[in-house]
A and B are shown apart, each in its own frame.
Chain A
Amino acid sequence: MTEAKPQVNPRAFPSEMILLLLLLAATVLLNVFFVANWLSGLERGGAGGLLQKLQMLLAPGLAVYGIYTAVRVRRSVPLAESGLRDASKAVTDLVTQVNPPRQVDIRLGKRLGSRAYVTGAPRKPIVVLGPELLALHSMPGERKAVFDAVVRHELAHVHAGDLWWYQLATVLRFSNLGTGFFALLVLWLNVLFDRGDVTSFLVSTFRLVALTLLTELIARAFLRAREHSADLHAAEYGVEGLLAAVQVHETAQTRSVVRTWLRRHPGADERSQALANPMRLLASPIGQAFLGAAAAGAAFVTLQDLLLSGSTEDKATPVITGVVIGIPLTLFAAFDLWRGAWQEDRNRLRPLLAAAALLSGLVIGSHLPLYTRIFDQAPIGIPIAPSVLLPLALGCLGLCWWLDALSTSWRQSDPGAARVPAFLRFAVPSACLAGGWLFAVLWTWSARLRGVYLACPTEEAKAAPICQSATPQSDVALKVAADFGFTFWSILTVLVVTATLAVPHYLRTRTLRPAAFAVVAILIALAALWTTRPTAPLNRARAEFRVVTDSVAVHADDCTKPLSDNVRCAADGSEKLTLAPASLSTVDISDATAEDTTTGYAIRIEFTSEGRQRWEELTRANVGKRIAFLVNDELLSAPEISQPLTGGSAQLPGPFTTLDQARKIADAIRGT
């Protein structure tokens, strides 16, 4: 005698529709806000410009929805006044049976054929039925069952309050289209007034269309999810009629993938299978993971660009962007995998497929946004470089495997999904931590390499050490590993990831083996993190050597005003120096000590082998010029180079009045 399989209620899990609606709203609003910000930036001196532009971009969506609804209602007449008394009574009986929460106005759409739909305001829903559908009510057998099923499907939309969701989704969709239209118009005007070239316009147009299409695909996926929900609700009163109605078109409705993705309704075969086995709906199409990742990829670039509006040198921006976008992206992928874990006959390769969808979506999506500070055809997205793509792929795979392992492990002790809320209480915060940390690292990695690729070709940045490196990808990777490797958040993430796998397993089996494995895994992970620890302490002060390109004598008061990034005042406030980008930095310094010299207190800098070479090249190329020495952006001195300096050290004066002051600075550079 076999044990009956527990029935899983799909409603025990976070709703797929809510996830898709949130994705749609986030994508559209970020896009609209960005374009509004961009358009308001084009107008000079308009107070409140951003709000006006937001209004301009969102209003068309509301207006078009209103007009569309009015037209649909106008084409119909009240069923009770149409003379079809029997049909009207049959529909009224079904309304009474379904008992929707609001009073429903039933109307006849004379030219609607056998179609039907719900329209009107959410508080005053209207169900419009076609004459051919109404004619079925008096026919025998399957035709009457089809009539009942279709009317119940429409009433299920009313019952679930789908008009609210549809209204919101429609406004967002039309706002998205309006935003795309305004952006395209401005781009075209740019070309007309000779401020841009046609090639750039075409490339930008392609990106714009792709971004708009991405949002539209998300909206369509949301609408399809609602239809499945309405089908399931209607099937509660009997599934036969619904299956008969759907199966009429089972063959004819099988379409290409693209057409399927663009439809508001699932295909007939998909609906038929979902009605026969509602558990199928637990596993969302893998394409939805791709859509979520593509939207996140676009959001990474857009949000970073918005945050950078204040400062171009903000090093925290990629981290903030990675966390803010990474957490929802992780949760989106997590719910997708978690729902699928409880599905019967689930695909074992799903974590791999989800990781592939995340990787491809992130890379493609990051190349779609247009209007960034690095405008136009510059490679603004995730660099197509092995040093970025490989960790991104491994990160996505590891994340998806871990998320899947969490749910499959929990499923063993909760096959009926009765304790899903308890699972979510520990899994969601863990996923937020791991995903936030992972994408902060990966996005910072990507942004830094992208910054190198974009900055190094420019004249100002050519002297920077990273631009002179033969292996910039490795340098960026090492820097990221040094910044994120052996840190509090990394260690916490390792501990949480391991604990979330081991603890539920221990509670279920009461064996210590998983705990032992967990300890070993933690030790290996910590050892790996330890190797990424920089050879120098992390808390070293930032020391820089920068060539002085210009200097002017100023009054001391002038130095109290804010200065731009490449201008510094001398320590005594007597002159203002314009500086080139840093030629040497802390990584080139191996040691620093304070010295008492005949001319005052100074700091002796010992260079690394690479730093020594760079120092020689720098002084040889700039004989007769001054080189500024800065610590934590404070200008200590700017001595003139009288001859090439070939030693492995340099003695640099500073505004020190005591040896102790010089010693403190030297200690800061050493990081002790």
Chain B
Amino acid sequence: MVASTTVRTADELARRVVRKIAPEELPSFDIVAAPYLESPEQAERRLRRAYDDPLGFGLGDIVAMATPVIALVSGSVITAVSDSVGKAVQDGTTNAVRKAWRKVRGKPEEPLELPSTDLTTSQLAEVRQIALDRALALGMEQPKAEALADAVVVALVLRENNRDTGHESGDASR
């Protein structure tokens, strides 16, 4: 069986998952998710670090929002899918020299973008496992992590026109 995904970027995937499992965080999605989507490695390091800011509140992340974890999981999933389908993305984001040159010139890093891709059942299962492992590694509890992994798979195979209506048709090619 094959499902064709219409999701192109991690931002898009993360937004769909947030809408599904943490809709109350949607209004602040852009500003909260941005650091985790732009530079996920740095953001993850910050997320894991126990901060002790002078004249701060002192307890690091005082509230566990779902958006950061979803954004990081989405980034990992998009990277994994792009690697698994063996297709290079737009301008070869693995080219470290080019990335560094863009950074020096002050140009924002272009996000990894998937072409329209067909995903097999085994690939979807693999994606679900990746999402589950990442969510657990980021400190999410097991039930929530499983819900997140399921939401990622659903978001990957859903049609894009659901965004406006908020309804999920489940119309996927199989």
- A residues adjacent to B (C-beta < 8 A): 82, 84, 108, 110-111, 113-119, 131-136, 138-140, 143, 146, 150, 153-154, 157, 162-163, 166, 170, 223, 226-227, 245-246, 248-249, 253, 263-266, 268
Shortest CB-to-CB span from A652 to chain B, Å, is 71
Chain B residues in 8 Å Cβ range of A114: 60-63, 65
Chain A residues in 8 Å Cβ range of B64: 248
Give the CA-CA distance A227 to B59 in the complex, in Å.
Answer: 11
Q: Can you give 5 contacting A-B residue pairs, CB < 8 Å?
A: A132-B32, A135-B27, A136-B63, A245-B59, A263-B58
User: B56 interface residue, CB < 8 Å from A?
Assistant: yes
Further 10 A-B residue pairs, CB within 8 A, beyond A113-B61, A133-B62: A110-B35, A111-B42, A116-B53, A131-B31, A134-B31, A135-B27, A138-B27, A138-B28, A154-B55, A248-B62
Give the CA-CA distance A223 to B54 in the complex, in Å.
Answer: 8
User: B2 interface residue, CB < 8 Å from A?
Assistant: no
Give the CA-CA distance A295 to B67 in the complex, in Å.
Answer: 48
Instruction: Give me the 7 closest cross-chain CB pairs, A-B, nearest first.
Output: A265-B58, A135-B28, A117-B56, A117-B53, A118-B55, A131-B31, A249-B59
Chain A residues in 8 Å Cβ range of B59: 245-246, 248-249, 253, 265, 268
Shortest CB-to-CB span from B90 to chain A, Å, is 25
Of all chain A residues, which has the CB nearest B42? A111
Chain A residues in 8 Å Cβ range of B68: 113, 132
Interface size bracket, B side: 20 to 34
Chain A residues in 8 Å Cβ range of B65: 114, 132, 135
Q: Mark B138-156, 1 if CB is under 8 A from A, else 0.
A: 0000000000000000000
Q: Are A111 and B62 in contact (CB under 8 A)?
A: no
User: B21 interface residue, CB < 8 Å from A?
Assistant: no
User: B101 interface residue, CB < 8 Å from A?
Assistant: no
Shortest CB-to-CB span from A341 to chain B, Å, is 29
Give the interface centre of B47, B51, B57, B64 by most chain A CB atoms within 10 Å.
Answer: B57
Shortest CB-to-CB span from A223 to chain B, Å, is 6
Q: Are B35 and A111 in contact (CB under 8 A)?
A: yes
Q: Are B35 and A146 in contact (CB under 8 A)?
A: no
Chain A residues in 8 Å Cβ range of B47: 113
Known: A115-B51, A248-B63. A135 touches B32 (CB 8 A): yes
Give the CA-CA distance A108 to B31 in the complex, in Å.
Answer: 10
User: B52 interface residue, CB < 8 Å from A?
Assistant: yes
Give the interface centre of B27, B59, B61 by most chain A CB atoms within 10 Å.
Answer: B59
Chain A residues in 8 Å Cβ range of B46: 111, 113
Give the CA-CA distance A132 to B55 in the complex, in Å.
Answer: 18
Shortest CB-to-CB span from B19 to chain A, Å, is 15
Shortest CB-to-CB span from A376 to chain B, Å, is 37
User: B125 interface residue, CB < 8 Å from A?
Assistant: no
User: B126 interface residue, CB < 8 Å from A?
Assistant: no
User: B85 interface residue, CB < 8 Å from A?
Assistant: no
Q: Are A139 and B56 in contact (CB under 8 A)?
A: no
Q: Are B55 and A115 in contact (CB under 8 A)?
A: no
Give the CA-CA distance A108 to B46 in the complex, in Å.
Answer: 17
Known: A132-B68, A138-B28. A150 touches B62 (CB 8 A): yes
Give the interface centre of A82, A131, A162, A249 by most chain B CB atoms within 10 Å.
Answer: A131
Give the CA-CA distance A268 to B52 in the complex, in Å.
Answer: 12
User: B25 interface residue, CB < 8 Å from A?
Assistant: yes
Chain A residues in 8 Å Cβ range of B25: 135
Shortest CB-to-CB span from A553 to chain B, Å, is 72
Of all chain A residues, which has the CB nearest B47? A113
Shortest CB-to-CB span from A559 to chain B, Å, is 64
Give the CA-CA distance A138 to B60 in the complex, in Å.
Answer: 21
Known: A113-B46, A138-B28. A150 touches B57 (CB 8 A): yes
Could you tell me which residues of chain B, from 14 to 72, have a CB within 8 Å of some CB in chain A? 24-25, 27-28, 31-32, 34-35, 42-43, 46-47, 51-65, 67-68
Shortest CB-to-CB span from B75 to chain A, Å, is 16
Give the interface centre of A115, A143, A223 by most chain B CB atoms within 10 Å.
Answer: A115
Shortest CB-to-CB span from A173 to chain B, Å, is 10
Give the CA-CA distance A163 to B43 in the complex, in Å.
Answer: 28
Could you tell me which residues of chain B, from 83 to 137, have a CB within 8 Å of some CB in chain A? none
Give the CA-CA distance A114 to B43 in the complex, in Å.
Answer: 12
Chain A residues in 8 Å Cβ range of B34: 110, 131
Chain B residues in 8 Å Cβ range of A154: 55-57
Q: Are A131 and B32 in contact (CB under 8 A)?
A: yes
Of all chain B residues, which has the CB nearest A139? B24
Of all chain B residues, which has the CB nearest A250? B59
Known: A111-B35, A245-B59, A248-B63. A264 touches B52 (CB 8 A): yes
Known: A135-B25, A264-B58. A143 touches B63 (CB 8 A): yes
Give the interface centre of A131, A132, A146, A162 by most chain B CB atoms within 10 Å.
Answer: A132
Shortest CB-to-CB span from A222 to chain B, Å, is 11
Which of B52, B56, B67 is in CB contact (< 8 Å) with A116?
B56
Chain A residues in 8 Å Cβ range of B62: 114-115, 133, 146, 150, 245, 248-249
Q: Are A115 and B60 in contact (CB under 8 A)?
A: yes
Q: Are B55 and A117 in contact (CB under 8 A)?
A: yes
Give the CA-CA distance A383 to B63 in the complex, in Å.
Answer: 53
Chain B residues in 8 Å Cβ range of A84: 31
Give the CA-CA distance A162 to B24 in the complex, in Å.
Answer: 36
Shortest CB-to-CB span from A454 to chain B, Å, is 43
Shortest CB-to-CB span from A73 to chain B, Å, is 13
Which of A118, A146, A166, A264 is in CB contact (< 8 Å) with B63?
A146
Chain A residues in 8 Å Cβ range of B28: 131, 134-135, 138
Q: Are B52 and A265 in contact (CB under 8 A)?
A: yes
Chain A residues in 8 Å Cβ range of B43: 111
Give the CA-CA distance A110 to B42 in the complex, in Å.
Answer: 13
Shortest CB-to-CB span from B31 to chain A, Å, is 4
Shortest CB-to-CB span from B18 to chain A, Å, is 12
Give the CA-CA distance A153 to B57 in the complex, in Å.
Answer: 7
Chain B residues in 8 Å Cβ range of A266: 58
Of all chain B residues, which has the CB nearest A262? B52
Q: Are B32 and A115 in contact (CB under 8 A)?
A: no
Shortest CB-to-CB span from B115 to chain A, Å, is 31
Give the CA-CA distance A163 to B64 in the complex, in Å.
Answer: 29
Which of B35, B52, B53, B57 is in CB contact (< 8 Å) with A245?
B57
Of all chain B residues, which has the CB nearest A147? B63
Give the CA-CA distance A268 to B61 in the complex, in Å.
Answer: 12
Known: A133-B62, A245-B63, A263-B52. A115 touches B31 (CB 8 A): no
Give the CA-CA distance A133 to B31 in the complex, in Å.
Answer: 11
Which of A115, A133, A134 is in CB contact (< 8 Å) with B53?
A115
Of all chain B residues, which has the CB nearest A138? B27
Shortest CB-to-CB span from B48 to chain A, Å, is 11
Chain B residues in 8 Å Cβ range of A253: 59
Of all chain A residues, which has the CB nearest B55? A118
